[in-house]
Amino acid sequence: MGSLFKLRDFWATKCGDEEEFDKKSMVVANIDNESSPQDKIILGSFSGVLRIYQPRQKGFKPDDLLLEQQLDAPILQLGVGRFLPNMQQLALAVLHPRKLIVYSVVRQGGAASAGDGSADPLARQFGIKREYEHNMDRTAYNFCTGPFGGVYGKDYICVQSMDGQLQFFEQDKLVFSRFLHNFVVPGHLCYNPKTDCFITNTSTLDIECYKYQVLHTSSGSEEKQEKSTASDGQSTGTGGKKIQVDWSLNVGEDVVDIRVAKFSRGSSNNQPDIIVLGERTVFIIKEQGQIRQQKRLDYFASCLTPYLYSGDSKVQNVMIGTYNNSIQIYNDVSLIWAAKTPSVPLAMEVSSMCKVDGMIVMLTADGQLSINYLGTDPASTPVQNLESKELDYEDMDEEHRRLQALIRQAVNAGKAEPKEQIQVKAQVPPTLDSPQDGTFDSPASQHHRSTTVKLFLSYSGDEDIENAVLTVNVPSPFQLDEQSILILSLHGSGGRDPQTPMVVHLTIYLPDVTPTGNSIGLLPTSLQTTCLVAYTNPNGEPLTTKTTFLLPLALAGCVIPPVKNPQFKITLDTNRVPPQMQQLFDDIVAGKGELASAGNVLSFQYYNTNGCDVTILVSKNAGRYRIQSGTFEALWLFTSELARRLKLFYVEGEGAGSEENAEPFCISYSENLPFQEYFNSIDVHFKARQSLTGSQ
Name every residue whose Cβ is closer than 8 Å to that of residue 357 and which is 6 or more positions away in sequence: none
> Which of 52, 94, 104 shows the shortest CA–CA distance to 74?
94
pLDDT class for 444, splitting at 50, 70, 90? very low
328 vs 378, higher pLDDT: 328
Where residue 238 falls among pLDDT bands split at 50, 70, 90?
Answer: very low
CATH architecture of 10-113+120-227+239-309: 7 Propeller (2.130)
Give 77-80's long-range contacts (Cβ < 8 A, gap of 24+): 77/22, 77/24, 77/25, 77/44, 77/142, 77/143, 78/24, 78/25, 78/26, 78/27, 78/42, 78/43, 78/44, 79/27, 79/143, 79/144, 79/145, 79/157, 80/27, 80/29, 80/31, 80/42
**SS3 (DSSP) at 398:** helix
pLDDT band (50, 70, 90) for residue 435: confident
φ, ψ of residue 667 to 5 degrees: the values are -120, 130
Give the per-residue pLDDT at 383: 58
pLDDT at 111: 46
The model's pTM: 0.53
| 126 beta partners | 107
How high is the pLDDT of residue 228? 38
Read off the pLDDT of each residue in 130-140 and give the average, rounded to a whole number. 94
- Coil, helix or strand at residue 651: helix
Window from 76-90, 227-241, 297-311, 553-567 with minimum mean pLDDT: 227-241
Tell which wins on pLDDT, 11 or 515.
11
pLDDT-derived band at 207 (thresholds 50, 70, 90) equals very high
CATH topology of domain 557-682: TATA-Binding Protein (3.30.310)
User: What integer pLDDT is reported at residue 102 of this predicted model?
Assistant: 96
Which residues partner with 550 through β-bridges?
Answer: 528
Q: Which residues pair with 405 in a beta bridge?
A: none
Written as one letter, the residue type at 62 is: P
463/458 Cα distance (integer angstroms):
12
Quick one: how many helices (H) and strands (E) in the chain? 6, 44
Inter-residue contact 535 to 467 (CB < 8 Å): yes
Amino acid at 499: Q
Residue percentage of the chain with pLDDT more than 90: 43
How does residue 399 score in pLDDT terms, banded at 50, 70 and 90? very high
Has residue 99 got a pLDDT over 90? yes
The continuous run of DSSP H or E covering 529 comes out as strand 528-536
| pLDDT value for 575 | 86
Q: Is CATH 2.60.40.10 the right assignment for the domain spanning 422-554?
A: yes
Q: Is the pLDDT of residue 456 over 60?
A: yes
3-state secondary structure 256-302: EEEEEECCCCCCCCCCCEEEEEECCEEEEECCCCCEEEEEECCCCEE
Q: What is the pLDDT of residue 231?
A: 37
* Per-residue model confidence (pLDDT) at position 674: 84
* Residue 181: predicted pLDDT: 80
For residues 86-110, give the mean pLDDT. 89
Tell me which residue of 141, 161, 139 sits closest to 77, measured CA to CA. Answer: 141
CA gap 663, 648 in Å, rounded? 16
**Long-range Cβ pairs for the range 35-41 (8 Å, 24+):** 35/112, 36/112, 36/115, 38/115, 38/352, 39/351, 39/352, 39/353, 40/66, 41/361, 41/369
- Residue 36: band (very low, low, confident or very high) from pLDDT cuts 50, 70, 90: confident
- pLDDT value at position 263? 83
- Nearest-5° Cα angle at 214, 208 to 218: 115
For the chain, the average pLDDT equals 84
577, 585, 542, 538: which is closest to 560 by C-alpha? 585
Q: Is the pLDDT of residue 448 over 80?
A: no
State the pLDDT confidence band at 518, using cuts at 50, 70 and 90: very low
Query: Rounded mean pLDDT of 297-309?
Result: 90
| pLDDT for position 593 | 64
Q: Are 346 and 302 in contact (CB under 8 A)?
A: yes
The pLDDT assigned to 382 comes to 58
For residue 498, what pLDDT is reported? 58
Q: How many CB atoms lie within 10 A of CB 326?
A: 19
Long-range contacts from 52-55, C-beta under 8 angstroms, 24+ separation: 52/105, 52/126, 53/13, 53/369, 54/124, 55/11, 55/353, 55/354, 55/371
CA distance 189 to 28: 19
In this predicted structure, what is the pLDDT of residue 2? 38
DSSP tag of 6: B
Going by C-alpha positions, the residue among 368, 370, 371 that lies closest to residue 18 is: 368
CATH 2.60.40.10 boundaries in the chain? 422-554
Q: Tens digits of per-residue pLDDT, 423-433?
A: 999 999 988 88
Q: 408 or 304, which is more confident?
A: 304
Q: What angle do CA 603, 604, 607 make, to 5 degrees?
A: 155
- Top-confidence residue, 378 or 510: 510
Element of type H or E holding 41: strand 40-44
* Contact (CB, 8 A) for 525 and 573: no
More confident residue, 389 or 78: 78
Which range, of 26-35, 71-80, 407-416, 673-682, averages the lowest pLDDT?
407-416
What is the Cα–Cα distance from 353 to 56, expressed in whole angstroms?
Answer: 8
Beta strands 557-560 and 601-606: pairing type?
antiparallel
Confidence of residue 434 (pLDDT cuts 50, 70, 90): confident
Average pLDDT over residues 651-664: 69
**pLDDT over threshold 80, residue 581:** yes
Mean pLDDT of 256-283: 86
Q: Which residue has the higher pLDDT, 69 or 226?
A: 69
Tell me the mean pLDDT in the region 485-489: 91
The yes-or-no verdict on residue 654 having pLDDT over 90 is no
Residues of the chain with CATH 2.130.10.10: 10-113+120-227+239-309
pLDDT-derived band at 375 (thresholds 50, 70, 90) equals confident
182 pLDDT band, cuts 50/70/90, is confident
126 by DSSP, 3-state: which?
strand
CATH 3.30.310.200 residue ranges in the chain? 557-682
Helix (H, G, I), strand (E, B) or coil at 70: strand
Instruction: Check whether 84 has a pLDDT greater than 50.
Output: yes
User: Cβ(157)–Cβ(145) under 8 Å?
Assistant: yes
| Burial zone of 206 (CB within 10 Å; 0-12 exposed, 13-18 middle, 19+ buried) | middle
Q: What average pLDDT score do residues 281-291 get? A: 91
Answer whether 512's CB lies under 8 Å from 448's CB. Answer: yes
Determine the pLDDT at residue 387.
61
Share of the chain above pLDDT 70, in %: 83
Q: What is the average per-residue pLDDT within 487-493?
A: 85
Higher pLDDT, 617 or 226: 617
Residue 528, amino acid? Q
- Give the model's confidence band at 219: pLDDT under 50 very low, under 70 low, under 90 confident, else very high: low
Q: What is the pLDDT of residue 572?
A: 92
593: Cβ–Cβ under 8 A, 6 or more apart, which residues?
A: none
Q: What average pLDDT does range 382-407 have in this prediction?
A: 80
Which pLDDT tens digit goes with each residue over 506-517?
999 988 755 444
Confidence of residue 274 (pLDDT cuts 50, 70, 90): very high
Confidence of residue 580 (pLDDT cuts 50, 70, 90): confident
Question: What pLDDT, on a 0 to 100 scale, did the predictor assign at position 548?
Answer: 94
Among the listed residues 201, 197, 199, the one whose alpha carbon sits nearest the alpha carbon of residue 212: 197
